[in-house]
């Protein structure tokens, strides 16, 4: 890499491995600081490719992600291409729809198109004169000693490239991370959950959205769940979450329809019987993995961000948001330590690991919670309890999803606060229950009931038992 005559610039070369959501955003952050940035991405340029295959089609963008986009001047552009979702819409089996707002008026999350967001970020990164995008570059391995990376291209050729800093943004199955695994005192855990997911498209009906657009539609059915997010082209992308075992039990078109008739009957006319039969078998269900590791860096040479550092299950809508926030946190520490990488990288791990672990745990916790007993009634009930408590004690009780989704409260602080709130609430309940018990005891002593009226005659009791056994 020759140094072109382009005025004063730093010698430090930053290699961003992975040109996905976090990699392309991170390239902007490093380019803005004036580093020489090289992005290496295994795929072809998605802005030219005709078919983009990838993971989920749309995503929920919330406060943390927006703040990161704002740092590189991309917030407005991305927001203008997103669809606000002001509330969830809970669909019960009977087809009843109940909205639950995310917060006050004007508090909303955004449904954004993954491919479009990625394209915009690549274009933004490329606009910096000190950034170069290298597509069709697959990282094979690299050396922590020399900083040399080995790439393979589609034509089989190899390239060996050196960088001062390697930023691993290559996703949940990170090749950059592989080198971490060989080192002593590196912690690593990965868990596949028994659920898979499948995406189904709900087309517009008479040129209009098939359901209300400004909602995150949810069909909670204990072990099954479906979620739908709106797209700009007036379609919805429905994501069905279900244990792999159950996906495998459905093998014929008729079984698909039967399954939907039983659990998601209101969606059949909206998706359409034929579309449903076709889409269900188009792609097999996809797996979901949770990855935690620490530290997130090696010396002053390499740092992991985004899914490469913390793949989380999607049950909080935070994977991308957390990855985007990684970029802000790193940037803040760069300011604090004057871009001295030997100080910045350890500090980044120290500060960020607890938060990345916290969001991975929260997402997993919510997965377990949802599949255990969350049907539409329970979901409505829980959210209502939260908002009632918040209404009466707005300074004391803040719902967990609010802290996670609408603030930049550090994830691990949000968890601590949530646990504290639960204690306060349980304590409150205990006091009320004790009060109620003491109160009733007092009233009973004051007005003793007629014992004879309380004892149920044996014959009546027998009738009850028979009735119970028959039911």
> In the complex, what is the shortest distance from the CB of residue 329 to ligand EGU, in angstroms, rounded to a whole number?
20
What track of x and - describes contact with ligand FAD for positions 176 through 205 (by CB under 6 A)?
---------------------x--------
Positions that interact with ligand EGU (CB under 6 A): 56, 59-60, 88, 109, 216, 218, 227, 229, 239, 314-317, 366, 370, 401, 404-405
Tokens 């949802």: give the residue: 370
Question: Which residues in the 316-335 window bind ligand FAD by CB under 6 A?
Answer: 317-321, 323
Q: Which stretch binds ligand FAD (CB under 6 A): 17-25, 70-78, 374-382, 460-468?
A: 17-25
Beta carbon nearer to ligand EGU, 333 or 414: 414
End-to-end CA distance of the chain: 80
Beta carbon nearer to ligand FAD, 360 or 389: 360
Task: Compute and round to an integer the Cα radius of gyration of the chain.
Answer: 27
Q: Is 216 in the site for ligand FAD (CB under 6 A)?
A: no
Beta carbon nearer to ligand FAD, 202 or 389: 202
> In the complex, what is the shortest distance from the CB of residue 418 to ligand FAD, in angstroms, rounded to a whole number?
20
SS3 letters across the chain:
CCCCCCCCCCCCEEEEECCCHHHHHHHHHHHHCCCEEEEECCCCCCCCCCCCCCCCCEEEECHHHHHHHHHCCCHHHHHHCCEEECEEEEECCCCCEEEEECCCCCCCEEEEEHHHHHHHHHHHHHCCCCEEEECCCEEEEECCCCCEEEEECCCCCEEEEECCEEEECCCCCCHHHHHHHCCCCCEEEEEEEEEEEEEEEECCECCECCCCCCEEEEEEECCEEEEEEECCCCCEEEEEEEEHHHHHHCCCHHHHHHHHHHHCHHHHHHHCHHHHHHHHCCCCCEEEEEEEEECCEECCCEEECHHHCCCCCCCCCCHHHHHHHHHHHHHHHHHHCCCCHHHHHHHHHHHHHHHHHHHHHHHHHHHHHHHHHCEHHHHHHHHHHHHHHHHHCCCCCCCHHHHHHHCCCCHHHHHHHHHHHHHHHHHHHHHHHHHHHHHHHHHHHHCCCCHHHHCCCHHHHHHHHHHHHHC
363 binds, among ligand EGU, ligand FAD, none (CB under 5 to 8 A by kind): none
109 binds, among ligand FAD, ligand EGU, none (CB under 5 to 8 A by kind): ligand EGU
**Cα-flanking dihedrals φ and ψ of residue 86, to 5°?**
-85, -15
Q: Is 171 in the site for ligand FAD (CB under 6 A)?
A: yes
What track of x and - describes contact with ligand FAD for positions 256 through 295 (by CB under 6 A)?
--------------------------------x-------
> In the complex, what is the shortest distance from the CB of residue 403 to ligand FAD, in angstroms, rounded to a whole number?
16
196 binds, among ligand FAD, ligand EGU, none (CB under 5 to 8 A by kind): none
355 binds, among ligand EGU, ligand FAD, none (CB under 5 to 8 A by kind): none
Q: Which stretch binds ligand FAD (CB under 6 A): 41-49, 261-269, 427-435, 449-457?
A: 41-49
323 binds, among ligand EGU, ligand FAD, none (CB under 5 to 8 A by kind): ligand FAD
319 binds, among ligand FAD, ligand EGU, none (CB under 5 to 8 A by kind): ligand FAD
Is there a contact between 24 and 118 (Cβ–Cβ < 8 Å)? yes
Q: Which residues contact 226 (CB under 8 A, 6 or more apart)?
A: 218, 219, 238, 239, 240, 241, 264, 267
Beta carbon nearer to ligand FAD, 270 or 320: 320
216 binds, among ligand FAD, ligand EGU, none (CB under 5 to 8 A by kind): ligand EGU
Closest residue to ligand EGU, based on beta-carbon distance: 317
Q: List strands edge to edge, sheet with 83-85.
A: 58-61, 109-113, 83-85
Question: Which residues in the 230-249 window bind ligand FAD by CB under 6 A?
Answer: 239
345 binds, among ligand EGU, ligand FAD, none (CB under 5 to 8 A by kind): none
Question: Crossing angle, helix 21-32 and helix 63-71, to 10 degrees?
Answer: 40
> In the complex, what is the shortest distance from the CB of residue 450 to ligand EGU, in angstroms, rounded to a whole number?
51
Beta carbon nearer to ligand FAD, 175 or 344: 175
Q: In whole angstroms, how far apart are CA 215 and each of 100, 288, 350, 358, 458?
A: 9, 24, 37, 27, 56
Q: Is 139 in the site for ligand FAD (CB under 6 A)?
A: yes
Q: Is 23 in the site for ligand FAD (CB under 6 A)?
A: yes
Q: Which position among 22, 100, 161, 218 is part of the footprint of ligand FAD (CB under 6 A)?
A: 22
Question: Which residues in the 297-316 window bind ligand FAD by CB under 6 A?
Answer: 306-308, 314
> In the complex, what is the shortest distance from the CB of residue 464 to ligand FAD, in angstroms, rounded to a whole number?
50
> In the complex, what is the shortest distance from the CB of residue 73 to ligand EGU, in angstroms, rounded to a whole number?
25
> In the complex, what is the shortest distance from the CB of residue 311 to ligand FAD, in angstroms, rounded to a whole number?
7
The contact set with ligand FAD (CB under 6 A) reads 17-23, 40-43, 55-56, 59-60, 137-139, 169-171, 175, 197, 239, 288, 306-308, 314, 317-321, 323
């Amino acid at each position: 890499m020759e140094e072109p005559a382009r005025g004063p610039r730093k010698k430090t070369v930053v290699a961003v491995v992975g040109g996905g959501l976090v990699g392309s955003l991170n390239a902007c952050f490093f380019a803005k600081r004036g580093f020489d940035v090289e992005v290496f991405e295994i795929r072809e340029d998605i802005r030219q490719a005709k078919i983009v295959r990838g993971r989920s089609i749309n995503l929920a963008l919330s406060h943390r992600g927006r703040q990161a986009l704002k740092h590189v001047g991309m917030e407005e552009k991305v927001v203008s291409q997103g669809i606000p979702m002001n509330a969830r819409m809970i669909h019960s089996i009977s087809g009843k729809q109940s909205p639950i707002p995310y917060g006050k008026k004007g508090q909303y999350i955004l449904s954004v198109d993954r491919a479009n967001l990625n394209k915009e970020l690549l274009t933004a990164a490329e606009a910096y004169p000190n950034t170069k995008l290298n597509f069709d570059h697959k990282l094979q391995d690299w050396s922590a000693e020399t900083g040399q990376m080995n790439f393979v291209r589609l034509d089989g050729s190899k390239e060996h490239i050196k960088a001062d800093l390697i930023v691993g943004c290559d996703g949940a199955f990170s090749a950059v991370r592989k080198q971490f695994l060989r080192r002593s005192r590196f912690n690593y855990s990965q868990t596949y959950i028994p659920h898979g997911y499948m995406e189904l498209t709900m087309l517009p009906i008479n040129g209009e959205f098939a359901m209300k657009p400004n909602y995150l539609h949810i069909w909670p059915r204990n072990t099954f769940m479906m979620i739908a997010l709106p797209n700009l082209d007036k379609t919805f992308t429905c994501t069905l979450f279900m244990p792999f075992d159950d996906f495998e039990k459905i093998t014929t078109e008729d079984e698909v329809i039967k399954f939907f008739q039983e659990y998601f009957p209101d969606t059949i006319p909206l998706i359409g019987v034929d579309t449903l039969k076709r889409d269900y078998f188009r792609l097999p269900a996809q797996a979901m993995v949770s990855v935690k590791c620490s530290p997130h860096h090696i010396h002053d040479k390499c740092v992991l961000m985004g899914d490469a550092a913390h793949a989380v299950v999607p049950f909080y809508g935070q994977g991308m948001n957390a990855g985007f926030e990684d970029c802000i946190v790193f940037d803040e520490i760069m300011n604090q330590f004057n871009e001295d990488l030997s100080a910045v990288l350890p500090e980044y791990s120290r500060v960020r690991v607890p938060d990345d672990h916290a969001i991975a745990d929260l997402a997993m916790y919510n997965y377990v919670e949802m599949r255990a007993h969350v049907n539409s009634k329970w979901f409505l009930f829980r959210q209502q309890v939260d908002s009632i408590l918040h209404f009466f004690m707005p300074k004391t009780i803040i719902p967990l999803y609010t802290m996670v989704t609408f603030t930049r409260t550090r994830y691990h602080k949000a968890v601590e606060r949530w646990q504290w709130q639960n204690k306060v609430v349980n304590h409150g309940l205990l006091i009320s229950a004790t009060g109620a018990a003491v109160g009733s005891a007092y009233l009973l002593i004051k007005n003793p009931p007629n014992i004879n009226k309380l004892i149920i005659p044996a014959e009546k009791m027998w009738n009850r038992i028979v009735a119970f056994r028959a039911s």
